[in-house]
Amino acid sequence: MTSDKITGKNLRIGIVGGGKRCKTILEMFQRQRPPKVNASVVIVADPDPESPGYQYASELGIDTTTDLEAFCERRDLHFILDLAGARDTIVPLLVRKGSEVPVLDAVASNLLYDVLNIQKELINTRRFLRTVLDSIQEGILVISPEYEILRVNEPLLKKLKRPKEEVIGKYCYEVLYGEDSPGGPPEGLCPVAEVIKTHRPHHTRHTHLDKDGKAIHHAVSAYPVMENGKVSRIVEISRDITQETRTQEMFLEQEKLTSVGKLAAGVAHEINNPLTAVLTNSMLLLEELPENDAMYEDLKAIADETLRCREIVRGLLEFARQDVPAKVESDLNKVVSSVVSLVRKQFSFKDITINQDLADSLPKVNIDKDQFQQVIVNMLINAMEAIERNGEIQVETSYDEQGHTIRLKIKDTGHGIPEEARLRLFDPFFTTKDTGTGLGLSISHGVIQRHGGSISFESQVGMGTTFTVTLPVV
């Protein structure tokens, strides 16, 4: 048979010998056709119908026969693989039948088997490595020395929210940081550039903002793959450490608050006595002076500012005290309703409406009711001051069965929290108001933490703010 005939669009192959090697070849044909050739095995011949290749061919629906003469009568074969060493038998039969089908003898067939078997192992190894890489939850990239992405694992694709086609072949600095040159990410050195320069692994931390403007922290490690003394590939592994970083910041903040509290307590006690003397004497003088006296307004200003200082001192003492909560089993809905009823009238003077959406059958919580009333009052007053006039405050409670927690949300339609103020919102003495002490949210934050809960917020400038308090249930 001429070469033109066997290089047609559909090469039909017959195999003589149904042993293990036959089965391996059939498995390879099932997984992947030979490159650049549209070929298929159409018949397997073996005198033993129990041989593994014979049995597997039957399972695949491929023709099988134990009769070699019947095999040689096939007129649709383009090629025969002799895996049984039966060439001396097959060729005379083919000649007698008038067939010119080329026969690949046992030596050449076994060589083909070895090649296909190696290919099978390579495919299995590649599949195994891909499975391993995709099972690792850290983001993994394989990058060329020209910063081109060659490989990416599935967890990183999910974090990037991009299909593989939009990542492979692109530059790493473009995909990861939106930069147009490898000058380094927003923070920290470029690990790929350092590996290329030093031929050594490099470890760093990067911080960048997500699409919502929130800080995302990553620990990044890059490792060189060396060939002939040069870096041929760079494997970069990144791990999201945002939660760990925030936890560390929270512990540091708590330590700072504790230190500030101790300092505040000492300072407040020292200031309180002279303030009381100043206030008492100025009030006595005011009682003796008529309102039209030239000194009256000056004395009144002294008294008013002294009262303001005393309020700051009272806040300092409240912040520093950090009493252990006297917890009792309580209905949070009742605590919320009682506070809302107290402030509703005051808020109505500014045309601010308070709406309540309290969950039915809310589980009990262990709280110090007095301390928690103070927390809710602080949060409602902050909401009122953020609105100023003509707005709405929504107070909601809900139960998270999965987390076994209760959530209290206070939403306002105020002016929102500026971006530059958000990181310092719970710092003592930090305020965005002209007359505020900056202690209300710090005190509330401490109370909630001592109850085993947490407080968070979401805000949009010009759209309002939502504070969420999360508490464990009884």
With CA atoms as reference, report the closest residue to 455 among 387, 388, 405.
405
| Higher per-residue confidence, 277 vs 207 | 277
Among 321, 352, 371, the domain boundary falls at: 321
Most confident of 18-32, 59-73, 444-458: 59-73
CATH code of residue 96: 3.40.50.720
Task: Kindly state whether residues 193 and 82 are assigned to the same domain.
Answer: no
- Read off the pLDDT of residues 83-141 as tens digits, 9 standing for 90 and up: 888 888 888 888 887 788 888 776 666 666 676 667 667 767 777 777 777 777 788 88
So what's the pLDDT on residue 54?
Answer: 95
Q: What is the rounded average pLDDT of the residues 65-86?
A: 88
Asked if 14 and 78 sit in the same domain, the reply is yes
pLDDT of residue 262: 67
pLDDT of residue 433 exceeding 90, the answer is no
CATH number at residue 197: 3.30.450.20
Lowest mean pLDDT among 19-23, 130-134, 277-281: 130-134
Q: Quick check: 217 and 245 in contact, CB under 8 A? A: yes
- The answer to whether residues 310 and 383 belong to one domain is no
The confidence score (pLDDT) of residue 120 equals: 67
Least confident of 23-37, 329-343, 427-441: 427-441
The domain in which residue 118 lies consists of 3-131
- What's the pLDDT at 56? 94
Q: Kindly tell me if the per-residue pLDDT of 8 is higher than 60.
A: no
- pLDDT tens for each residue of 293-317: 888 888 888 888 888 777 777 666 6
93 plus 184 within the same structural domain? no
Using left for φ > 0, alpha for ψ between -120 and 50, and beta otherwise, residue 85 falls in left
Structure tokens at 438: 């900056």
Pull the structure tokens for residue 8.
């047609």
How much is the pLDDT for 439? Answer: 59
Confidence of residue 144 (pLDDT cuts 50, 70, 90): very high
Shared domain for 180 and 292, answered yes or no, is no
Lowest average pLDDT, out of 61-70, 190-199, 250-259, 434-443, goes to 434-443
Q: Are residues 96 and 221 in the same domain?
A: no
Shared domain for 458 and 334, answered yes or no, is yes
Co-location of 88 and 177 in the same domain: no
What's the mean pLDDT in 243-271? 68
Q: Are residues 108 and 187 in the same domain?
A: no
Q: Which pLDDT does position 250 carry in this prediction?
A: 67
The C-alpha angle with vertex 31 and arms to 30 and 37, in degrees rounded to 5, equals: 80
Look at residues 130, 123, 159, 104 and name the one whose alpha carbon lies nearest to residue 29: 123
According to the model, what pLDDT value does residue 7 have? Answer: 45
Q: What's 291's domain CATH number? A: 1.10.287
pLDDT in tens, 45-54: 999 999 999 9
Least confident of 23-27, 158-162, 376-380: 158-162
What is the β-pairing status of strands 139-143 and 230-240? antiparallel
Q: What is the mean pLDDT of the chain?
A: 80
131, 158, 178: which is the final residue of a domain?
131
Same domain, 335 and 395: yes
Q: Label residue 209 by pLDDT band (50, 70, 90).
A: low
Percent of the chain with pLDDT over 90: 16
Res 5: pLDDT: 44
> With bands split at pLDDT 50, 70 and 90, how would you rate the model's confidence at 334?
very high
Residues 341 and 441 in one domain: yes
Alpha carbons within 13 A on the beta-carbon side of 25: 29
How far, CA to CA in Å, does 399 sit from each of 357, 365, 367, 372, 433?
A: 12, 11, 16, 18, 34
Give the range among 93-97, 167-171, 207-211 with minimum mean pLDDT.
207-211
So what's the pLDDT on residue 119?
A: 67
Residue 423 has pLDDT above 80, yes or no: no
Number of domains in the chain: 4
- Count how many residues are written for the chain: 474
Are 195 and 282 in a shared domain? no
Could you give the CA distance from residue 428 to residue 440 in angstroms, rounded to a whole number? 8
Last residue of a domain, one of 131, 157, 184: 131
